[in-house]
Amino acid sequence: MKLRSKAARRYAMALHGLALGDVVLDAVGVELTKLQGFLEGSEELRRFMGNYLLPSERREQTLVALFGDRMQPLVWRFVRFLESKQRLGILGEICEEFRGLEELRQGIVHGRLASAFAVSPDDAGEIATRAGSRIGKQLILETEENPGLIGGCRLQVGDTVYDFSLAAQLRMLRQTMMAG
């Protein structure tokens, strides 16, 4: 997981609060997802957002030409605010933080399932459903194959790790035997 700045978190929380208060949370979320897609797809746009060597009038004209009236009004005001604070360079991070806040509000958490062998999407879905019901949230799993586990699986949700692997059981057995 990529580390994001505290400023991005604060800006995302402020925007999330405004969108929630104005009852435009879904529209803002959709707009930020599109913006993040543009940023991920264009190296030039990312460079422009973080480059404040251009005169402010020229930057403003470029932003109006790029987004202008095609953007949800709250998001457009937010982009212009970030421009005034010279913080457009962290817009991608803000989009990610906003998505995280919205998932948290909806009760969605992300987890990682490591298994000694490939896990089918159906099995991963079943594990996500069962584990999600136990923690009381909707769990979205990212799967990976890790032959070092020997057998079984390891599930990580947030800071909690559930290790059902054969390698973990062998380690515990060894520790027990060494302790006498």
Q: Report the distance separating Cα 108 and Cα 93, nearest Å.
A: 19
d(CA 174, CA 180): 10
pLDDT tens track for 133-177? 999 999 999 999 999 999 999 999 989 999 999 999 999 999 999
Cross-sheet strand order for the sheet of 153-157: 138-145, 108-115, 153-157, 160-163
Domain ranges of the chain: 6-104, 108-179
pLDDT mean over 97-120: 95
The residue count of the chain comes to 180
Average pLDDT over residues 50-57: 92
Confidence check: pLDDT of 25 > 60: yes
Cα 39-57-5 angle, rounded to 5 deg: 40
Does 68 have pLDDT greater than 90? Answer: no
DSSP E strand stretches across the chain:
108-115, 138-145, 153-157, 160-163
Mean pLDDT over 20-33 rounds to 94
Tell me how far apart the terminal alpha carbons of the chain are, to the nearest angstrom.
40
The percentage of residues in the chain with a pLDDT greater than 70, rounded to a whole number, is 98
pLDDT value at residue 180: 75
pLDDT at 3 over 70: no
Q: Of 132 and 69, which is predicted with more confidence?
A: 132
- Amino acid at residue number 7: A
Report domain 6-104's class: mainly alpha
The pTM score is: 0.77
Residue 2 predicted with pLDDT over 90: no
Q: For 73-90, write each residue's pLDDT tens digit.
A: 999 999 999 999 999 999
- Residue 15 buriedness (CB in 10 A; 0-12 / 13-18 / 19+): buried
Which DSSP state fits 149?
G
Report the interhelical angle of 25-41 vs 91-106 (nearest 10°): 140
